[in-house]
Amino acid sequence: MAELSRKEVIAIVAVAGHRARLAGVDLSDLDLSELNLYGVDLMGAKLARTNLSRARLAKAELGWADMRGAILEGALLHEANLVGANLSRSNLHQSVLIGALLLGTKLQGADLRGALLKEADLTGADLSLVRIDEKTEWPANFDLLAHCNKQRDKEGPEISE
């Protein structure tokens, strides 16, 4: 259960602005859609199944956040730090991740249809089973197939019993 309500999050951000610190806070299952969370520190926060659709998260600190199943449809994540975050099965449909840091980010099964990932750093990101379409924009010279093959080779062969 979330530690704070939507109204409390709005109040904290209204007072502290982009210096708001919500690191490690449990905000799971909240509706934080359309909020301006520009630059907010959400490092290690629990945002599982949180609705962040159309939220402004540019330059937000989201490293190591648990965002499994989060709804980030149309969210603005320009230059956001998502290092090590878990975005498995999240909805990033038409989100803007230009210049975002996605090093080691778990994106298994995420919906990246129409997402803009130009200049994003996807080093070590797990992109297995992601949903994409012709509108998904990758960083220059990024090869999804080669990236996934490299990731699989790094993990080694699957062992079945």
Please tell me the distance from the alpha carbon of residue 25 to that of residue 21, in angstroms, as a whole number. Answer: 9
Q: Which residues of the chain have pLDDT under 70?
A: 152-161
Q: What angle do CA 127, 86, 64 make, to 5 degrees?
A: 130
Q: Residue 152 has what pLDDT?
A: 67
Asked if 60 and 80 touch (Cβ cutoff 8 Å), the reply is yes
Taking alpha carbons only, the member of 79, 64, 30 closest to residue 50 is 30
Q: Residue 161 has what pLDDT?
A: 40
147: tokens are 């990236």
Asked if 82 and 105 touch (Cβ cutoff 8 Å), the reply is yes
Q: Residue 155 has what pLDDT?
A: 58
